[in-house]
Amino acid sequence: MKLEYTLKQKSTKNMARLGEFTYNGKVYETPMFMPVGTNATVKTLSPEELKEIGCGIILANTYHLWLRPGEDIVQKAGGLHKFMNYDGPILTDSGGYQVFSLAKPKDITEEGVHFKNYENGDKLFLTPEKSIQIQMALGSDLVMSFDECVKWPAERKYVEESVERTLRWAKRGKDVFNNRDEQMLFGIVQGGEYEDLRKHCAEELVKMDFDGYSVGGTSVGEDKKTMYKMVSYATKYLPENKLRYLMGVGDPIDLIENVMRGIDLFDCVSPTRLARHGHAYTKHGKINLKNSKYKEDFSKIDENCHCYACQNYTKAYIKHLLSCEETFGARLLSIHNISFLVNLMAEIRKNIKTDTLEEFRDQFILDYYGEGYEYK
């Protein structure tokens, strides 16, 4: 059954919103953070661990699963949920980010985008229709339109053309999707840092009436102030009764700031990638457990954290695991980092209820960055 969003409460001071949806009989609250599992697995973690952490929606990637193992195989397996043994909601990205990360400008055409398989050199061509068909075959719950995630900075003229193309692609994808009962389709707002382009893109998508809306083209190298503007320019024109998903954003402070700008869903590779690279989020900022100063530090990663890693292991032990390149270190840090963001979202929701999000943000910044923090 299609997941249905209900708006429960709005802040009186900013655009923050509290909402919920039910999936397989379980109620999930938004705003929410969604960990990324590109290849139908959140790197190093099992579905059971994800549930224990308190994750709701997780992500998978159309592009990667299309190439390997192929959507037909996932379909034969009984769909993505069965294939990867995750019974919570799954969102699939459309391949739009790979337009940003893998394709060159000349590879982008009106019809679709040419890619070269980095594994074997095969020529690939992904179209909006194909992306939606793959996602339908995968059976994810939240399906993303195929879009162009534009680099930053970009010339206004280019962004203008790109937005129009992304709108045409959204329409083409939607026609193929044909309002399926069991899946939601999201339109993606692009438009770079240009307010009128964001507005135009949002309004045109809303006219097409999607099940939810994403804000894309952020976290591509811009400074935080610019990112926040991009988000405001988009959410301002989106309907209140639909989910809004900010794609690829996961820096802790960005979660708070963008909830205040009306975002419900976030995803980011940071917690898992940083974990594999030895870093941990803490209330007092990000730390690098590989640093020699943790060699004899027998304290928890974060005194305030109740995750499995913090309950049972010390910094010194995790540092040791990282030094030996033992995979358990990356797992423990992945558990911790995702927990940190999941817990942060819970704190955010609590503060929306009491309408104290701004005070919460100010205190968070003070704890995390110390005095004199400036948005960069």
CA distance 27 to 23: 6
Q: Which of 75, 288, 314, 356 binds RNA (CB under 7 A)?
A: 288
Unique residue bearing structure tokens 């192929």: 70
DSSP three-state, residue 175: helix
Who's near 220: CB < 8 A, 6+ residues apart? 100, 149, 150, 151, 152, 248
Question: Contact between 165 and RNA (CB under 7 A)?
Answer: no
Question: Contact between 290 and RNA (CB under 7 A)?
Answer: yes
Which long-range CB contacts under 8 A does 194-198 form with residues at least 24 apart?
194/156, 194/159, 194/160, 194/233, 195/229, 195/233, 197/156, 197/159, 197/160, 197/163, 198/230, 198/233, 198/234, 198/237
Scanning 4-12, 74-82, 242-250, 356-364 for contacts with RNA by CB under 7 A, the matching segment is 242-250
Question: Contact between 264 and RNA (CB under 7 A)?
Answer: no
Within positions 68 to 107, which residues make up the interface with RNA, using CB under 7 A?
93-94, 96-98, 100-102
Shortest distance (Å) from residue 62 CB to RNA: 9
Q: Residues in contact with RNA, total (CB under 7 A)?
A: 55
Question: Contact between 330 and RNA (CB under 7 A)?
Answer: yes
Question: Contact between 282 and RNA (CB under 7 A)?
Answer: no
* DSSP letters for 295-325: TT--S-S-TT--SHHHHH--HHHHHHHHHTT
Nearer to RNA, 307 or 341 (CB): 341
Question: Contact between 124 and RNA (CB under 7 A)?
Answer: no
Shortest distance (Å) from residue 363 CB to RNA: 21
Question: Contact between 224 and RNA (CB under 7 A)?
Answer: yes
How many residues are recorded in the chain? Answer: 376
CA distance 220 to 218: 5
Question: Contact between 206 and RNA (CB under 7 A)?
Answer: no
Question: Contact between 147 and RNA (CB under 7 A)?
Answer: yes
Paired sense of beta strands 212-215 and 184-189, if any:
parallel
Q: Which of 304, 312, 327, 354 binds RNA (CB under 7 A)?
A: 327
Asked if 297 is an active-site residue, the reply is: no
Q: Which two tokens stand for residue 236?
A: 């301002």
Question: Contact between 133 and RNA (CB under 7 A)?
Answer: no
CA distance 79 to 138: 5
Question: Contact between 280 and RNA (CB under 7 A)?
Answer: no
Asked if 107 is an active-site residue, the reply is: no
Q: Which of 276, 300, 336, 361 binds RNA (CB under 7 A)?
A: 276
Out of 141, 251, 264, 267, the active site residue is 267
Which residues are tagged catalytic? 93, 267
Q: Which residues sit at the interface with RNA, rule CB under 7 A?
A: 36, 38, 42-44, 59, 61, 64, 93-94, 96-98, 100-102, 118, 144, 147, 149, 188, 214, 216-220, 224, 247-251, 254, 267-270, 272-274, 276-279, 288, 290-293, 295, 323, 325, 327, 330
